[in-house]
Structure 1
Amino acid sequence: MLKFFVIPGHDRRLIPEGRLSGPMPWVIAIMIFLTVLATAAGLAMTHAMGDVSDELSSRATVQIVEANPGIRGRQAAAAAKQLRTLPIIEEVRLLPSDEIEALIEPWLGGQDLADDIPLPALIDLKLVRVATEAEYQSLRSALRSIAPSARVEPSSGYIAPVISLVRSFQWIAFGLVGLLALATGAAVIISARSALNTHTETIAVVHLLGGTDAQISRLFQRRIALDALLGGLLGLAGGSGIIWLISTQLTALDSGLVQSVGLNWWSWLIIAAIPILGMFLAMVTAKLTVIGALKKIL
């Protein structure tokens, strides 16, 4: 494979173009730069959705809506005691009133809400596994005699609209990767045809000396592949720098959902492979373009 990029001296004289001399490497660098950013965004959102889904799929919330605070407190304590006896429940946590007020303070203000609004009692449940709808119905039935107004809901339901929005952004990012691949292929086609037009006389001489279409296409294919690799490495370096800058800013935000947006080691492997994939795309596109054009010209 490495021999493919070792350009002999006579080949350099046939196609006298220096590295990074034309627009092709810089166009590829821009395409790879954008592809790296789009791929990183799609992979980061995939990672975030997986972490959030795994965390919330095995959690549930119990709400006890009761206007009388005394009755509400007794029902919440009895419900928590009953839930701890169930085999599907791993952990039960009864949220204190000040923590509930802190949760709704951004929407209703910081005044003493408990005196004005009957806040529900909240019980956070951690399940041993993901529960089915039938098991949630069993939980509701177990609490009905203790707290008739109790509502048992999976925690994943509260964030489902956010997950749906993130999934839409994920598909947009991967769709952008596909469009950039098409644009890269189009740029390679234009570059290959331009090189053919520039070296028409050289190609005719090589044919007269017994050169085949495959040999001629290999000259252009090797040159374009090398340009694509160099441009791809430049784009990878620029994109990786932007990703690092954004990641350092995200880590400073105190948000569980935002902090879950990150890249693991296999995501970085995929990103690192983008210049190689771009090079192979350029090689295949250049070969098909040059051979197709030679059949029409000669």
Structure 2
Amino acid sequence: MTGPATLPRLAGYGAALPLLVAVMAFVAQLALAGGLALNTALANWHAELAGRLTIELPAAAPGERLEEALALARATPGVRTAAALPKAEVSKLLEPWLGKRGLADRLPLPTLIDVALDTPSAEVAKTLATRLAGAMPEAVLDDHRLWFGHWVVLLHWLQFIAAGVVLLAVAAGALVVAIATRALLAAERGTVEILHLLGARDWQIARPFQREALQRAGLGSLAGLALASLALLLVGHLLARADSPILAGRLLSWRDCGWLAATAAAFAGVAMLAARATVLGDLRRLP
């Protein structure tokens, strides 16, 4: 048989396949969005902390020591501004740990000085640390590198986990399609064997199966994308209310949204390839 060979209309995969693909696409797109948002949050953190230092003075330090520390910091080359944080702002920073019951107001809080550099520079930080150590040993200079480094490691691990979830969801989708294709092959066994005996090419027999898989999985992946988009819009609305320059604002760019759409398309493509591979593998075992 040299002309096109087609099967009669397939019985179809049923409603279960689009539903399962929708669930897996939803999970994959949420994981991918989380990984992309973490990348944006990491960049926001770096932009927020780069070029900023904090000088900490003990709560028992006299007021003139604060003025000395401010003068010393402002006289250091490379320092743009240096200002003491109001006690109310320090208390607000401690609210996540102490709550809003006024405990911070009754505690001996250290005095914090926010130092902004002209440009991020380790040399300026080192010079300022040396000057502070000589003039006021009780002062502590924090360049946030240790704190930020711990968060970088954690966020990178979370990104790896998110990538793993995406890959597992895609692999699970391919497995589900392969199993469903085997069941559909069994239902169409008689027709498949007749076409094979008449000389139909394997790819001609596989084509209706892969087309059916593409349509059903495409429908499911679009449904998963729609559900994930609604969930992300809700999360974005909640983050927009966050009083934080790191979390507030747009955490997913248009390019990130393109990656989410590409993931939906990838689910449909992988489903088609899984159906094709399953049918071709089965046909190779026929005499």
> TM-score scaled by structure 1?
0.83
Q: Relative to structure 1, is the Cα distance of residues 230 and 92 closer, same or farther in structure 2, using a 3 angstrom cutoff? A: same
Residue matched to 1:285? 274
User: What SS does the aligned partner of 2:80 have?
Assistant: strand
For 2:159, the equivalent position in structure 1 comes to: 170
Question: How far, CA to CA, are the matches of 1:260 and 1:169 in structure 2?
Answer: 21
Q: Letter of the 1:31 partner, please give it.
A: M
Shift in CA distance, 201/27, structure 1 to aligned 2, threshold 3 Å:
same
| 2:190 maps to 1:201 | yes
In the TM superposition, what is the alpha-carbon distance from 1:241 to its structure 2 partner? 1.1
1:142 Cα shift? 2.8
Aligned residues of 2:185 and 2:279 also touching (Cα < 8 A): yes
CA distance in 2, matches of 1:211, 1:79: 87
Tell me what 1:14 maps to. 8
- Indicate the residue corresponding to 2:48 in structure 1: 55
Contact 1:56 1:155 in 2 (8 A): yes
Shift, 1:72, TM fit: 1.9
Deviation at 1:100, TM superposition (A): 3.2
Q: Is the 8 A contact 2:56 2:141 kept in 1?
A: yes
Percent of residue pairs bearing the same amino acid type: 31
Q: Compute the displacement of 1:111 (Å).
A: 6.2
| Mapped partners of 2:244, 2:172: distance in 1 | 37
Pairs within 5 Å for 1:1-298: 11=6, 14-17=8-11, 21-65=14-58, 67-83=60-76, 86-87=77-78, 89-104=79-94, 107=98, 110=102, 113=105, 117=108, 119-132=109-122, 134-259=123-248, 262-298=251-287
Q: Could you tell me the TM-score, scaled by structure 2's length?
A: 0.86
AA partner of residue 221 (structure 1): Q
Shift of 1:82: 1.6
Deviation sequence 1:244-292 (CA, Å, 0-9, x none): 1222122223234432672111111101111211111112222222111
Cα RMSD between the aligned structures?
2.7
Q: Identify unmatched segments of 5+ residues in structure 1.
A: 1-7
Query: What is the alpha-carbon distance in structure 1 between the residues aligned to residue 267 and residue 104 of structure 2?
Result: 60
Give the stretch that moved more between structures: 164-173 or 211-220. Answer: 164-173
TM-superposed CA distance for 1:236, in Å, is 0.9
**Secondary structure of the corresponding residue to residue 297 of structure 1:** coil
Change (3 A) 1:121 1:259: same
Per-residue deviation, 1:188: 1.3
Q: Distance in 2 between matches of 1:175 and 1:80?
A: 46
Q: Give the C-alpha shift of residue 26 in structure 1.
A: 1.8
CA displacement 1:124-152 (0-9 Å, x = unmatched) = 122233323x5432221233343332322
User: Quick one: structure 1 residues 131 and 221, their matched pair in 2 at CA, closer, same or farther if it must change by over 3 Å?
Assistant: same
Q: Report how far residue 47 of structure 1 moved.
A: 1.2
Mapped to 1, the partners of 2:82 and 2:205 lie a distance apart of 73
Per-residue deviation, residues 72-92 of structure 1 (Å, max 9, x unmatched)? 233223223323xx13x2332
> Aligned AA for 1:110?
G
- After TM superposition, the structure 1 stretch with the greater mean CA deviation from structure 2, 180-189 or 205-214, is 205-214
Q: Distance in 1 between matches of 2:256 and 2:163?
A: 14
